[in-house]
Structure formats: C-alpha cells, structure tokens
Amino acid sequence: MVPSVRRYGPILLAALVAFAILGDGAVARATPQDIFGFGARSPGLAFTGVSYADDYEAAFLNPAGFARARRRSINVGLSAGTYQLSLDGERYPAEASRGMTIGFVLPLPFGDVLEDRLVLGGGFFTPSSVLLNGTIHLVETPQFNVLERSQAAAIQVGLGMDFHDWVDGLRIGVSVSVAADVIGDIIVRLDETNAFSSVVETQLVTAFAPILGASYDQETWGVGATYRFELDGKMDLAIVAEDLPIEIPEFFVGGSVHYDPAALAVEGFWKPIDPLMLVLQVQTRFWNNYPGPQRQVSETSSHPPDPDYSVTVSPRVAAEWEFVNRRGLAGELRLGYAFEPTPANPAGMVPALDSMGMPNGDQVALRYLDNHRHVATLGVGLVFDLTDEARLTFDVFGQLHVLMARTHDIGATDGAPPLETTGNLLAGGWVMGLEY
Amino acid sequence: MTRSFTTAISWGALVSVVSLVFFLAACGTTAPDPNPPGDQPHGGTGEFRALTNTETGISGTAGLALAARKVAIESAAALPDGPLFYGLGVLLEEPPDEDPATPEGDVDWMGYEPRIIRRAASREGEDLGFIFPGVEVLAATEAWEMGEVFSPWPVLLSDGRLRLYYASPGGIGVAEAPSVEGTLVRVGGGPIVATVGDEMPRRPTVVQVPGGDSFLLYYEIGGHLVGATSTDGLSFTTFADPLDPGAFVPRDDDDPAEVALGGPGAIRVDTGVGRQLIRLYFESRRADGTRLLMMSGSTDGMTFERYEIPVVGDEDRRDPAPIQLDLRTTLMYLHGPRQVSSRQGRGILGTVAPRSVELVAEPDAGI
Amino acid sequence: MRIHLTTASALRIALWATAAAFALVATPSDVSAQAMDSFGLGSRSTAMGGAVSAHVSDPSANYYNPAGIAGFDGVQLMAGYFYSMPNLFVDGNDSNVDDISGIVFGLTVPGSIGPVNFAFGLGGHLPDGRVSRSRSLPRRQPRWELYDNRPHRTLLSTNVAVEPVPWLRIGGGISFQAFSENDIHIGGEIGLLGLEMDTDLVQEVDFAIRTIRFPTAGVQADPTDWLSFGLNYRGEYALSNELIGEVAVDLLTPGVDPFAAYVLIETASINAFVPQQLSMGTTVKPLEGLMLSAEVTWVNWGSYQSAVGASSVILTIDVPPSLEDLISVPDSITPGVPVAAEFSDRWVPRFGGEYTEKFSETFSLSGRFGYVYENSPAPPQTGFTNLIDSDRHVFSLGLGTRLGMFRPLLPGWVDVDMHFQWSHLPDRDHVKQSPADPTGDYRAGGDIFNLGATVNVGFE
C-alpha cells in the first residue's frame, strides 16, 4: 500500500492540483480564515496553532512559528464550506464557500549570527474566481453579518525570528494581512444631445493589518500568543450626477465589505506522551469596534444604527495523535472542539440616528443575525519521505459547526412573530506540500 | 573582517529586512490622487462658457464685454489682440412705445437713433472686455445705406490695411482704412450685396480661403445662409444654392424643429497639424422662437459638416464672432438680451471654449 | 527507511512540482504585465532593453522568461524601486499623464530532486500607494491609451521551471488578473426646490472583484557556452469594469405629493488589456565579460479591445403637471456603444549588451546598454475615438556592481544595479475626417524618463 502511494502519489496529487486549478468554484460568503481557519492542519485542530505552527499556516496563526522551519516548502490545497442556515424554519440562501490555499516557507540562508535566524513565509487563500466580493444589505433586511462577511482573498506574508542563542525556544514574528479598500469617484452626466457619459475613477488601495506573535517551547510543551490587528476593507465610492433634469445630491456608496476584528489568542500545547499533543487556546475577538457594513449615503441622510457588537471569548481544545511513523511514512490523527460565541445582539428595534449620528428619538429594525456555534473538527496528516532532503506532506480536515437555536426580539418583517435562527456549517479541505 | 564588524553588519541586515517588510506595507497607504487628464485638443465646438468678470475686467453680469446705459449694442466682431467693432443705437430722449409685435429678444430700433459703427479698445492688461464708447468709425452717409449701418466685420489684410464689411438696410458694404485705427473710406459706389425687395442681406462675415488668396463671404438673407467667393474681397460671386451647414439632428422628440438659419460668424483656424479649416458659427432658429448657436466645419469653405450639439448652452445668443486664441482656445463674442431703460436692448458678451480654460487667473487662484 | 528515487520517479516528482507551482501561480492577485512591458522589471534587465529572454540572471526572470529561474544555483532575493516620468504632450499642452513608480521585487528558490533541478520563483511590481487603478473616461476624451491608466497595476508573477538536462530549461505559470463588478441600489427620498435638507437615502451594494486566468511560459537553451536562445510567451487578458447603478427614490417638493423618480445606469468597458506576446531572443558571449543580446517580440495588439465601452441609461420621473415647467425629462437617452480600436499587431526589436570587469573575487563592475523600437499599434485617430499613441524609441543605460565581501554572514553576493531609460515618442499627427470634429486635429508626442535601482542578494 505504502509503496504504491509513493509510486503513484505524485501523479495523483498532480491530478488533484489540476482539479484545484481548473475547477471553478461557487461564490463563497464568509471571511474564510476567521470562520474555518487557515490551512489544513489548524482547521482539523479547532483553529489552534498559535503555539506549535511551523509552516505556512504560521502566517495567520503566529508568524513566530515560521522560525521553527528549517526547510523550504510550498503548499497548495482546496477547501470548501457549505451553509445550512435556517430562518424561521426556512433555508437562508447562503452560498457555499470554496477556494484555494497556497503557502510557502523560505528559511533565509544567511550565515554567521543570522544563521538559522530568519524565515520568510506566506499564506494565501483565494476564493474561487474572485478576489473580493461584498454585499451590503439594508439594515432591516435579515442578514448573517458574521457568517456572511465578504468573500475575500486572504494574503499574509511574514517573517519569523529565532532567538535560540538568547533564550532557547524563544521566537517572535511579524506578518501583515492585506485587504483592499475600493475608493473612487463616478461622475455621470447627460450632455446636450441627451447622450450619457461618465467618468469613473476607482482605485484598489491596500489596507494592512499587522499580526504580531511570540512563542516559547521546549521539547514537550510550549506556549504562544498572537495579536492580530483589525482588518477593515472598505468600499467608498462618491457618485455625482450632473445635468440631470433634477438636482440630486452627491451619493457616497459603500461601507465595510471585509472586516476581521482585532483578536488576541493565547495558547499552550503539551505532549504528555511522545505521539500525543494536547492544545488549549483562548481567543478574544474585539467585535465591539465593528462599524457595521452600512454607511451614510448623503450628507443629509441618516446614519445607519450602531450594530453594538460585543467582545467575544472563544475557547478551543485539540489533540493530535501520531498513529504511524515507519518506512518513510508518518501519519497523524487530529481532533478538536471550539466554542464560537456570537458578538451580535438578537435582532431588534434600536435607536435611529440622524444625519449627525445622534439618536433622533425613533427606533429602526436592525436584523443582523448570528448564533453561538459549537465546532467539532477532525483531521489527518501524512508525511512521505522522498529523499533525505525532500518530503511530501498531505493534510486533510473536516469541520461541523452547529448553530445554537436563537429567538430574536423582532420578526423577519414588521409585525411578524419573533425570528428563529439555527443551522449548521460543514467544511472540509486538503493541502499538500513539498518540503526540500 | 572582525567578528564585531560582521556582527554589526548582521544586525544591520536583520534590521534592513524587517524594515523592508514594513516599508512594503507602508507603501500601500500613500495613494496619491490621480491627475485629471491634462489640457486636451479642442475642435471649437464648445460648450462655450461666459467669460468671468476677472477675464473681462467688467463687473456685473458674467461675460459682459461691452455695455452701457441707454444704448443697445449688437453684432460686434473683434480682431485678434485688437479692438472691437460694434453696431450701436442710442436710446431716443423720448422714444415711442415698443411695438408689441416685436419678437421676444429683438430690439425695436424705432426707439433708438440710427445705428452707427464704433470701435472700442480692449481694456488694459489681459482683460477681454472693451472700453465704452470708443470712437465712431462709420455712420450711414450713402443713400443706398438707407440711414444706418451695423453688423461690422473687420478683416486685417496682409499689408496692414483694415477692411470692414458691414450691413445696412440697403445691403452689405465695404470700407477700408490704411490701418486698424485709420479712417475708414468706403470702397466702391454701392453695396457688394444689395437688398432686393424685402430680402435684406445682413451679418456679413468674411474669411480668406485656406491656403489661398481669395475670400469667402457668408451672410444671412431670408432665413438662409448664403456663401460667395471673391479673388479681391470686393467683388463676390454667390454660390448657386443657399449654404448648407449640414443636417440638423434633433436631440430628442421634444427638440423644436429648425425653421431658419442666420447670424453667421466665420473663422479660419490653424489646427495642431498645420491644416487650415473654416468654422462657421450660426444661429439655429427654432419653431418655438428660441435661437441656439451651432457650428459647422469645412475644409474648403463651400461644403460644411455640422456638429450636432449647440455650442452655447444659453438661448438667445446671436451673431457669434469667433477668434482663435491658440490651437485649442476659441474666444467668441456675441450679443444677448439686456434691458435699456425698461426697453429691450442688447449687450455684447464674451465666451470661451473649452470651458476648462482659464484665460486670466482668478485673484485667489493658487492660494 | 528512506526512499531513494530513480530518475523516472524523480521526473514524476518534477512533474508534480510543475503542477504544484502552476497552482501556486494561480494566486488571484491583481496581476498585470503592462507596466513592465513599458518600463521593465529590475535594473539589469531594463538597462539591457529587456533583451534578456535568452539569458536572464536575476529574479526578473519571473517576468522576462520563467525558464530562467531554473538556471540559478541558489536562492536570490531582489528588491528595488523605479520612477517613471511621462512628459507627453498634445499640441504642446502637457497631457498630465501620471508618474508611475513603485517597488519591484523578485524571489527565486531552486531545488533538486535526484538529477532534476527545478525552481520556484516570484516577481513583480507594486505601484506606490495602490494595488490598481481603473479609469473610464468619456467616449471622445483624448487619452494616452498605453500610458494613461494601464500601467497603474500590480504585477505578481509566480512561476516554476525545471532543468531536465543541463542545457535546457522550461518554465511557466498561470497568473490571474482582476476585474470589478458593482451593483448599486439607492432608495429613499430626495428633497428638491428648498427641501434639500429632507433628503434621506439608503443603499444596497453588491460588489465583486473577479479574476481571470492567463498563462506564461518560456524555454531557454544553451547549445554552447557562448550561445543561448530563449523563447517566451505571455497570454492575453482583458479586464472589464461593469457598473449597474439604480436609483429609485421619491422626490419631495413643496406643496406637491411625493412623486417617483427612477434612474438605471449600466456601463461596461474594458479597462486594461494586455495582448498576447511571443519573444524570441539570443545571447552571445564573444569575449570574456562581454554579452550581447538581440530579441524580437510579436505583440498581438490586433485583438485589442478598446476602453470605449457600452453604456445605457433609463430615466423616468413621474413629474406632476404643476412642475412640468421646472423639470424637463428627455424622452430618450442615447446609449453608448463600444467603438473598435482597430489596433494592429507589432514586432518589437530589442538589443542589449553588458560588459563586466572582474576586479577581484569579491568585486566586479558591469556596464549595460539597450535599445528598443516599438512602432505604435494604434492607427491615426481620424474619427470618433482619441486613443493616442506614438512610436517609441527606448534607449537605456545601466551600471552594476557585484560585492562578495560579506562572508560569512552572507554566503553569496550582493548585486547593486542602476538604470536610466529614455523613451522618445516622436510627434504624430492625427487629422480628423470631420472638419466639425469636437476634438479636432492634434499632434502628439513626448518623452518618458525612467530611473531605478535594484539590490539582488544571491545565496550560494
């Protein structure tokens, strides 16, 4: 069995890669790394990895982890997630998520005091056939803001630094996560012949969010901490209409189309016996700074209501068991559980704001929906030695997210019975890599 | 290399690499605003905008280039960097009541003294307005002129002589002066184009044929435009058919039909590639009584192609007189309605195209 | 027990590596080649007129010929900066074309499995301040079609190459480019005639930056020590900008019941088009330290899609009879239809040279030159469009040094290269068929100056 895997494995993987390249995915509807994790090992271990990541996943989990790598590697894979969200017993139309994961690690081959010091790495996730997709609904439209955040490519590049000569086991790292702001002006006018003309000037401007991390580990245990800054990709288009029969004000269209809250993750792992690793992580997300997707449309228009999201604390536990390690093949089984509390209040009536952003005494319906989630994860990792220097890795994972039923304060429409939301998410994927 | 030196370089390299990461990140936050497209060529088609008060040096109505109380001024034309020649009628001390049958915007000249032609100098500096009243250069003295002269059109000849074409109730006449400021003397004993019956020719405009030494004359008669050619600028041969400035294309179903043409003003222009064209500006008179200024272009002065959009947004602008300032800038004087002691009068307005051009910097520009 | 590969299995691994790298290059970053087409990538290659597809010795190979990355012995990291200043004029007036500047970067990581050498590479250009810019101008608006907006895009080219035998290298990649779709709906109330402060609007937006794929591929062959050949292909792509804007509001006026207004605007245009192109080049080394290169590139501008796109507008306002004098609604609005650009294919010759004097084991200097002639693919603009372009003569000079004195910290070398590139676009006359053309005749030409420097760190 194993020799035939060695023999045909590369061809099989090549076919899988070709499938990954050529397959056209459906539109995903979530910030993938925040919902499903990044890579294929961490998502099988309940999104943990802050203390032990040593490959491309460190770009998102903890860039200090890069500094553990001593070999170059490239990785590629596919992942997908489906939503079964229920709104008053009816299926909520959320599209499936699918995309490609790409990663690399490059220890910089300096000598002298920089020897084995610096490791460059990157991790990317790209939803199929799209870089960024955002939908901004009216605030009164029922919408799953947290789960339905824009479909966006994740781009993270970082540097890990190993300080083993100062403190054995100490590493720090920094990476940047990139999002795109879309800014621009659209001027439309009718000329004297009633012909339409327009000047459209838009720019994609990068928005950066640093990720800072540190880790300390010994042979059988380790700890790590990561702070990810808020990443807010905005769309900001000004629309001016000239020479129309009526004078209309300048519109400002857009809002927050891609938002990841600032987050602090603290984690530790312990290997009580050689093949077993246990992991515990606590992650705090600072959703209280979330501005909401909507924005004021013109100078005299009302401000959208404050979403009033809360800080969340998410516990994660995971275990990894090395079930085989012989004849050039190693295998690991992974299990994990995470609790993802919702930052959102139940949908309800909230104070309406005037054009200055002050409460005007009215109430408006705010139907931003979200539920607490229990997440169970499963994963398998395989490593094939190809030569003394090169090896092939293959990781696969599956996840089940169960949304705890929630009853909201208002109905889907004015006067309707209170909203009931529940559902589940299924996700899976694989990543293969070549280390050399 | 000493150990301390290599250690220093090592840490320098480390700092450099880390700095590079942050530098790359920082580069994404410094997006300069894109430049707007720069000055672009312009075919003289408009839209013309009114000159600003700063550009004319005259306060009040934007674009007003020449006006005074108790006078009606119409059908002016200027020489490049030169004076403005204009027709003027002074309000009578006790004018009769306005004829209620006078079309809206038209002047009831019965309330004014017989029209004469004056020459107004431009204001000092770069101002594109003119100083009233200037000097009288031509008044009706010949019997065929039937008492008044108006609609002057100056042409500066290559030898420095000024030739002034003008209209009168009796037809189109010509006068010459040895220089722009010289005394005008009529040429010939009668009009070069005479009034026949009720068909009075008006608003003569003359250009020299591109690349040649002959002249083209355009004028209005009976709601049509007429063209004529001449080798000496004095004796003209009229085209066989009324001048066709190109097809009228309505902007939509609500656009009133074109019922007459008039008020021509022609200019010979040099394009950026050395080609010479004739641009003919004229009034497109509509069924609802409005007048819109339009432009046609020609390579030979005889066959024209019309640009379908009016060159001036305002209605009731008449007798355009264009001047090419440079390859892309066209200055155009015309006249618009103006109240003269509660009576309908006219005043000279200055316009320029393209709209974006700034001929004289506003006082606060650049602050 | 370790597994040791046979040659056949090593080649299978190479095949896998190739496929994996093709996946790697499928990164849907905002990728483009046009800035590099005009201004080069990396000071060494730019100084040699881009005539380097047969022999490229730094990570700019990711752009010029991905096969070249398999020829490097160790990891190379390149970073640099260039600044390009267009001075383009129409009728003597500055066309205000934006400067183009930004970082260039490159990385090549070689490896081998058994007898087969392979490498992964990444290179590109990040413009200052933005990932990309798109500009859609009025249909007749004169614009320098190749320089006004098209260069303002990020280039990210990632590749893989293999060296199956010592004299042959094969490389390639698939890159993605992005285009946008915007669907905007605005509702609410707009106050008119003194009720402007009552305007209260809400929005819904559906927005996407989508991706398309295009391939790059190259081959390098070294039949002798002094002679090399290169072949490089880049695929075509075109980016469209699509916008749907819908405004459905009630209009508020004093003393009149609210009445409905509806505006629907749809526009679609091609904002950046890069034609497919095939380069064939050769490099000879007639003397020690001297390298001369010649190259010709076929550029398929004949399939160019004009930026002048389609647009349509629907405008309806239920104007009450009492306001008909104040609000005049056109009974129809003329839609915009795409206008063909009618560009032609072109053959671009490139020449370059480099002379290197090695002063010691740790110090050498190189001088470089290059020349490129690009005949304009755009026809004279005699009609509706004003897609301005002129022929381009590109002269370039460069200077480089290799420093190898940083051992043991750096087991390799550092290249510091600089370039100066002058592009001259001779005046070109555009004579309009219509004497009433609103743009009129014009003469266009100018110069573009480009300065830059790169540092390339090579590890042995």
Look at residue B347 and tell me whether its pLDDT is greater than 60.
yes
Q: Give the pLDDT score at C247.
A: 85
Look at residue C329 and tell me whether its pLDDT is greater than 80.
no
* Chain A residues lying within 8 Å of B31, measured CB to CB: 183, 203, 205
Q: Is residue C391 part of a domain?
A: yes
Preceding peptide of B354 cis, ω within 30°:
yes
CA nearest to C80 within chain B:
B20
Mutation target among B29, B248, B355 for the A interface, most CBs of A within 10 A: B29
Q: Is residue C2 part of a domain?
A: no
Q: How far is CA A381 from CA A40, A433, B76, in A?
A: 9, 11, 90
Q: Do A10 and C332 touch (CB under 8 A)?
A: no
Half-sphere exposure (Cβ direction) of B318: Cα atoms closer than 13 Å: 26
Q: What is the dihedral of CA C284, C286, C288, C289, to 10 degrees?
A: -50
Task: Identify the CATH number of the domain in which residue C200 sits.
Answer: 2.40.160.60
Decide if domain B49-95+106-353 falls under CATH 3.40.50.300: no
Neighbors of chain C with 3 or more C-beta pairs under 8 Å: A, B
Q: Does B247 touch chain A (CB under 8 A)?
A: no
Domain extent, residue C176, equals: 7-459
Q: Do C411 and A111 touch (CB under 8 A)?
A: yes
Q: Does C23 touch chain A (CB under 8 A)?
A: yes
Q: Which of A113, A126, A217 is nearest to C408 (CA)?
A: A113
Q: Does B20 touch chain A (CB under 8 A)?
A: no
Shortest CA gap B251–chain A (Å): 5
* pLDDT classification of C304: cutoffs 50, 70, 90: confident
Cβ within 8 Å of B, C 60-99: 79, 90-98
Work out whether strand C76-90 and strand B343-353 pair parallel, antiparallel, or are unpaired.
unpaired
Residue B131 one-letter amino acid: I
Nearest beta carbon to residue A194 from set B10, B18, B252? B252
* pLDDT classification of C33: cutoffs 50, 70, 90: very low
CA nearest to C132 within chain A:
A204
Work out whether strand C93-94 and strand C76-90 pair parallel, antiparallel, or are unpaired.
antiparallel
Q: Give the pLDDT score at C327.
A: 76
Look at residue C8 and tell me whether its pLDDT is greater than 50.
no
Q: Give the pLDDT score at C368.
A: 98
Secondary-structure breakdown of chain C: helix, strand, coil percentages, each rounded to the nearest 5? 10, 55, 35
| Average pLDDT, integer, range C353-371 | 96
Mean of the per-residue pLDDT values for chain B? 86
Neighbors of chain B with 3 or more C-beta pairs under 8 Å: A, C
Q: Give the pLDDT score at A115.
A: 85
ipTM above 0.90, yes or no: no
Copy the structure tokens of residue B222. Answer: 């009976």
Q: Does C143 touch chain B (CB under 8 A)?
A: yes
Q: Give the pLDDT score at A22.
A: 36
Q: Give the pLDDT score at B125.
A: 66
* pLDDT classification of C6: cutoffs 50, 70, 90: very low
Q: Is residue C14 part of a domain?
A: yes
Encode pLDDT of B52-62 as tens digits.
Answer: 988 898 888 88
Look at residue B10 and tell me whether its pLDDT is greater than 90.
no
Q: Is residue C1 part of a domain?
A: no
Instruction: Report the domain count for chain C.
Output: 1
For B154-166, letters b (16+ CB in 10 Å) and e give: bbeeeeeebbbbb
Distance from C-alpha of C289 to C-alpha of C449, rounded to nearest angstrom: 29
Nearest beta carbon to residue B253 from set C331, C440, C441? C331
Q: Is residue C96 part of a domain?
A: yes
With a CB cutoff of 8 Å and minimum separation 6, the contacts of C149 are C133, C134, C135, C143, C271, C272, C307
pLDDT tens, N- to C-terminus, chain A (436 residues): 334 434 443 444 444 344 333 333 333 334 678 889 999 999 999 999 999 999 999 999 999 999 999 899 989 999 998 889 999 989 988 877 788 898 999 999 888 888 889 999 999 888 876 677 778 889 999 998 888 765 677 889 899 999 988 899 999 999 988 777 788 887 877 655 556 667 777 777 777 889 999 999 999 999 999 999 998 888 888 888 777 767 778 888 888 887 889 999 999 999 999 899 999 999 999 999 998 888 899 999 999 999 999 999 999 999 999 999 888 899 999 999 999 999 999 999 999 999 999 998 999 999 999 999 999 999 999 999 988 888 999 999 999 999 999 999 998 888 889 999 999 999 999 999 999 8
Contact (CB, 8 A) for A231 and A256: no
Q: Give the pLDDT score at B16.
A: 61
CB atoms within 10 A of CB A5: 15
Q: Give the pLDDT score at B140.
A: 95
More confident residue, B253 or B140: B140
- ∠ CA B210-B214-B220, nearest 5°, is 90
Domains of chain A: 2-435 (2.40.160.60)
Task: Indicate the SS3 state at residue B25.
Answer: helix
